[in-house]
Every structure is written in C-alpha cells, then in structure tokens.
Amino acid sequence: VKVVVLTGGGGGAKLVAGFAAQLAGDELTAIVNTGDDFTHLGVAISPDLDSVMYILAGVLDPRGWGRANETFHCLASLRELGAESWFQLGDRDLAVHLLRTAALARGDRLTAITRQLCAAFGVSHRVLPMSDAPRPTWVHTPEGRLPFQRWYVEHRARPRVVAVEYEGDGGASAEVLAALDAADLVVLAPSNPYLSLGPILAVPGIRERIARHRVVAVSPLIAGEAVSGPLARMLHELGAASPDVAGLVAHYGDLVRTWVVDERDARAVGVAHVATDILLVDAAARNRLAAEILRL
Amino acid sequence: VKVVVLTGGGGGAKLVAGFAAQLAGDELTAIVNTGDDFTHLGVAISPDLDSVMYILAGVLDPRGWGRANETFHCLASLRELGAESWFQLGDRDLAVHLLRTAALARGDRLTAITRQLCAAFGVSHRVLPMSDAPRPTWVHTPEGRLPFQRWYVEHRARPRVVAVEYEGDGGASAEVLAALDAADLVVLAPSNPYLSLGPILAVPGIRERIARHRVVAVSPLIAGEAVSGPLARMLHELGAASPDVAGLVAHYGDLVRTWVVDERDARAVGVAHVATDILLVDAAARNRLAAEILRL
C-alpha cells in the first residue's frame, strides 16, 4: 500500500511517525509544508521538514520541535552580541541548517538535500518538500503582513489574522507528483489548514492530483479546540462557516472523503467520518491511529 | 602615542593584548592577517581576527584559539551527519561566524563588520583586517597547493612547504592606511613571517607605508625554536639564509629597525636588538614585554 501524508510539523509529524511504524520505506511519503521556511542570519531553515525528519529519526525533542538533548550556546552568544535571538536555533539543529544552506548555495534542490539529510539520519521513509521553489506563507495582520515565523514565533501568534497569503509560483517537484500519482491513500495530517496544509494545497499540481484520490483527513481540533496553536481562533478570524470541526469540513469541502475526528466532535461533522481517540499523546497512540486509518 | 601592531593569531594576539593593557582605545591598532580566512560549510571564518578580538574581549580560550568555555555540539552533529568536521567550529564561535557571514552577504565591508563585532564584545582598541578584499594564502606542497586552513588544520601542517602564495589583488582599506600614516611606532608581532605577516606585507600600500616608520619586530623564535607552529621547519623548507633568528633578520632586511629577541638568540641577530624574555606565558609576561617595547 502506498500512503501519502500531507503534513506540517507538530501533530502532523506525529501521525507521520505513526504510519512509519507500520509501513515500509517505499510505502510512506510525507509531503511537507515549506511555507514556514525562512532564512535567518543567512541560514536556511525548514522547520516542518526538520520536525518530520527528526521524529522519524527518533531525535525530535518531546517539546515537538528541534532536537532532543539540544543546547543553545550559539543562540546565547548571538543574544550577547545583540543579534536577533527570537528564533530558537539549537546547536545540533544548526548542523542541519548549515548543511542545507551550503547545499542550496551549491544549487542543489531542496528535495535532494532533504533526501541526503534523511539518509544521514537513517530515515528510510520518503520526506518531500511540497516544492523545490520558495513559497513563503505570509500572515496578514491589522498592522501589515508578517513572514510566518515572525508572526508565529517572534510575535507568538498574537496578532489577529486578516488573511493568509501563499507567495511564489513554483510548482510541485516531479517526486511529489509521482508520489501522488502512485498513492493508494492520501491523508491530511492534523495540521493547521491555513498555515500548514493550505500552503501545500496551493502548490500548482497538488490539489487536483489529490482530488482524484480517496482522501482521509484527521481533525486538528479536539472537542472544538486545537491541540496546540492558534487554529480555533483563526477559524473565527478568517470567517470559517463555524469555528469548529464543521468549519473544517466546510473548508475542505469535497476534497475530503472521510474525516477522522474526536468522539466529542462527531455530531458536528455531517459527512462520512470515523470517531476515535485522535489525541497523539505518545507513540502508542499515534501508531494505533495510523493503523486504524490503514484499516479504513 | 599611536601604536600599530601587525599580527596573526596565537602569539601575535597575546602581544596585542599586552599593548592593550597599557594603551587607550585610540592609541592601539591591530592590523590582522586575513589570509587564513575561508568559507566553511557556507560560513565565513576569520580565525586571526577572531583570536585578536577574543583575547581583547577576555574570552579567548587558553588553548589560543576559539572561545573559552566552548562546546562543540554543532560540530558533533555535523560529524554524525557525515559532513566535514576537521575544522573545530565551536558553538559560541559560530555566532560570530554567522553574524559575519550574514553581514558580508548584505555587502558590508569586513572592516565595518569587525568594528561592530568588537563593539558588541566591548573591545575598545581598533582591530582592522589587512584588507576588505579576499586575499587567501595558499600553501604549495609537493602534492599541489592547499588553502591555508586545509594545510594547517586538516593536514596538521605536515605537508612540506614548497612556496607560499598570496592570492588576490585587493588593497588596504582606508582605515589601515590612515592608521599606518598616523603611527608613532609599528610593531611586527611574534607571528609567522610567511603565513601571518607575509600576507599583510603583501597587501598593496602596506609595506611602503611601514617602511617609513620605526619598526620593531618581536621574534617568533625562542632559542631557535618556534613557540608554536611550523616556523622553524618552514625557514629551512623555504630557503631562509638560516633556520634561526638570523634567517628572520635577513628575511625582513631593512624593514625592521629594532629586533626584540630571546637572550639565547641575541648573538645571532647582528643588528640593533633588545634581548629580553619574550615567552608570553601569561598576561603579566605580555604586559611587561609590551611596556618594554613602548619604552624603547
């Protein structure tokens, strides 16, 4: 079976790890949001790609981003020198950023770089950036637009969201298109629809290919609340039909065939769905959820 | 009194710190070799500039390079990922490299970047790169030429030196020329004449300005041996008149008015000299030597 999961970092990465526990390397492809990618102090950072790679490599910190047993001595030194220090640059994490930056400067594609990094980390499942071209996500606020990381990390996702913009016109890579063409099942991970999956679906070539498939979506809301992040508030701010699972269902419309939701949200879905425990508290929970989706 | 010291890292940096202990910020300028500068994993590294800056900031590690209380977690991660790890990239040190790299990418001059870094470290004396243009030093060996850091660090200075090449045609900055024009005393620090001071003297505009001054040179040899590094061997390999202080004296010729040497080498000098203790074992030793030179 060939499974493709569209994902951001965080909860989506956990579900990818759940699938990885039961699928062979060539059976699972994660197509990962790169709208959060940015260059910081000259260093190319791909937060969601790294979260997925780190969780599959078993080195993701339990906090949900960056590497376990991380230190921040470079960051402390940057802070002492008066440089920007709002982004948590870990010392071990920096190794990945430096290798990625140097490879991009050589002209390598992000897809190839990610493959090499994954190989170095012993990750056998496929991790693909949604595009090799920069496609930054901008968050429009009442005070103007902010690059995603500035809004999310530096401003702690506080400024009200007026609109989300997906910049860039780069298409999907040949690897992404081939993975979607070969897929038996496409899964939308429990990631933010505007900030994580929206950027992927906006890449030319991806949405229409997904629409040909049986698509299963795992809700990023539980009992109407986001497990983490500002989603519940954003559904309201961005004018969703309702700030709950029904709003998500309306947001994706026909694209999703089957919803996987928490039992407390089942009544609101109104379309084909499975109600189960979707809180990915640990490896057992994510493995069980992935297995349940594979049985659908 | 306006003192200009030409220096590499290591022993030269120690003498600069000795002068700094007795001169005001505007009385001391270090003109620093940047022939060792290189780009490693996309990061711009200036080893000698950093050694001088770090010793003046009081954060140089006692080993003579890099920062005190340093960790190497990024480097360990690079090594795990199969990347080149022969260069000792410290985590705190990386902060300086990242800031320098980002500023160079913005188009800032190395002189301005160094001034800002020094200010951030609370260094009040002037630290100037010998040139704002890249002027890499190449070490020619029987197997071909190597960039300085490859030869010195990766190959541990083992390959025989056939010749030393100073590449690049960039001139001295306005700041370097002004400092030399205003100098009351020019000091050649106890640095390698081929690898540290040679690159500085090869920068168009520097040698002829220095020749107008009273130049004092501190010998990098003690009892015929280099305090550290491959100098004694190189004097032989590069065909100096003799592999000792007399060879150094012949190497610089008329450029140096007064030599400061170890008592054991005094007989070999043959020109105006002061024999004293030049082993810079600690702050007291370097302060005493600098004071002695200022009294000349």
CA distance B59 to chain A (A): 12
- DSSP helix/strand/coil, A196: helix
Contact residues, chain B, for A74 at CB < 8 Å = 74, 91-92, 94-95, 98
The shortest CB-CB distance from B102 to any of A42, A71, A105 is to A42
pLDDT digits (tens, 9 = 90+) for B233-248: 999 999 988 889 999 9
Could you say which of B81, B82, B91 has the minimum Cβ distance to residue A74? B91
Check residue B294 and give its pLDDT.
97
Round to whole Å and give the CA distance between B206 and B130. 9
The verdict on a CB contact (< 8 Å) between B42 and A101 is yes
Cβ(B220)–Cβ(B248) below 8 Å: yes
At residue B130, does pLDDT exceed 90? yes
Hey, are the CB atoms on B73 and A82 less than 8 Å from each other? no
Would you say residue B161 has pLDDT above 90? yes
Count other Cβ atoms within 10 Å, centred on residue B12: 30
- Mean per-residue pLDDT for B192-196? 97
Nearest CA in chain A to B76: A92
pLDDT in tens, A165-199: 999 999 999 999 999 999 999 999 999 999 999 99
- Half-sphere exposure of residue A225: CA atoms within 13 angstroms, side-chain side: 4
Report d(CA B191, CA B161) in Å as an integer.
17
Backbone angles phi, psi at A254, to 5 degrees: -65, -15
pLDDT of B224 above 90: no
| Neighbour count for residue B32 (Cβ, 10 Å) | 33
* pLDDT value, residue A229: 84
B74 to A77: CB separation less than 8 angstroms, yes or no: no
- The 10s digit of each residue's pLDDT in B27-66 is 999 999 999 999 999 999 999 999 999 999 999 999 889 9
Confidence (pLDDT) at A106: 96
Contact A147, A136 (CB under 8 A): yes
Are A94 and B117 within 8 A, CB to CB? no
Interchain contact, A102 vs B41, CB within 8 Å: yes
pLDDT of residue B229: 84
Question: What residues contact residue B130 under an 8 Å CB cut-off, 6+ apart?
Answer: B31, B32, B33, B34, B35, B172, B176, B199, B200, B203, B206
Q: Which residues of A55-71 are buried (b: 16+ CB within 10 A; e: fewer)?
A: bbbebbbeeebbbeebb
What pLDDT is attached to residue B226? 87
At A201 the pLDDT is 98
Q: Which two tokens stand for residue A221?
A: 């809301």
Query: Are the beta carbons of B29 and B210 closer than 8 angstroms?
Result: no
Asked if B96 and B65 touch (Cβ cutoff 8 Å), the reply is: no
User: With an 8 Å Cβ cutoff, are B73 and A92 in contact?
Assistant: yes
| pLDDT, tens digit (0-9, with 9 covering 90-100), for A235-268 | 999 998 888 999 999 999 999 999 999 999 999 8
Q: Return the H-helix or E-strand segment holding A258.
A: strand A258-262
**What is residue B45's three-state secondary structure?**
strand
A45, two tokens: 């950072």
* Planar angle of CA A127, A67, A117, nearest 5 degrees: 35
User: Which one of B71, B81, B92 has the shortest CB-CB distance to A99?
Assistant: B81
Place of tokens 């002037």: B126
Q: For chain A, which residues lie within 8 Å of any Cβ of chain B, measuring from their own Cβ?
A: 41-43, 67, 70-71, 73-78, 80-83, 91-96, 98-99, 101-102, 105, 117, 120-121
pLDDT, tens digit, for every residue of B57-104?
999 999 889 999 999 999 999 999 999 999 999 999 999 999 999 999
Structure confidence at residue A226 (pLDDT): 87
pLDDT of residue A227: 82
Query: What tokens were used for A160?
Result: 């009200």
Residue B273 DSSP SS3: strand
Minimal-distance CA residue of chain A relative to B94: A74
> What are the residue ranges in chain A where pLDDT is below 50?
none
Of B130, B141, B194, B121, nearest in space to B168 by CA: B130
Within 10 angstroms of residue B216's Cβ, the number of other Cβ atoms is 22
Is residue B285 over pLDDT 90?
yes
Chain A contact probe: residue of B79, B81, B121 with most A CBs at under 10 A = B81
What tokens appear for B101 in the block?
């790299």
Positive or negative, the Cα torsion across B221, B223, B228, B231? positive
A214 CA to centre of own chain: 20
pLDDT at B208: 95
pTM confidence score: 0.93
A222 and A201 Cβ atoms separated by less than 8 Å? no
Treating both helix axes as pointing N-terminal to C-terminal, what angle do B47-57 and B91-106 enclose, rounded to 10 degrees? 120
What pLDDT sits at residue A109? 98
Which among B226, B205, B284 is positioned nearest to B31, based on CA atoms?
B205
ipTM above 0.90, yes or no: yes
Which of B75, B89, B98 should we substitute to test contact with A (largest number of A Cβ atoms within 10 Å)? B98
Torsion of CA A105, A110, A115, A120, to 10 degrees: 40
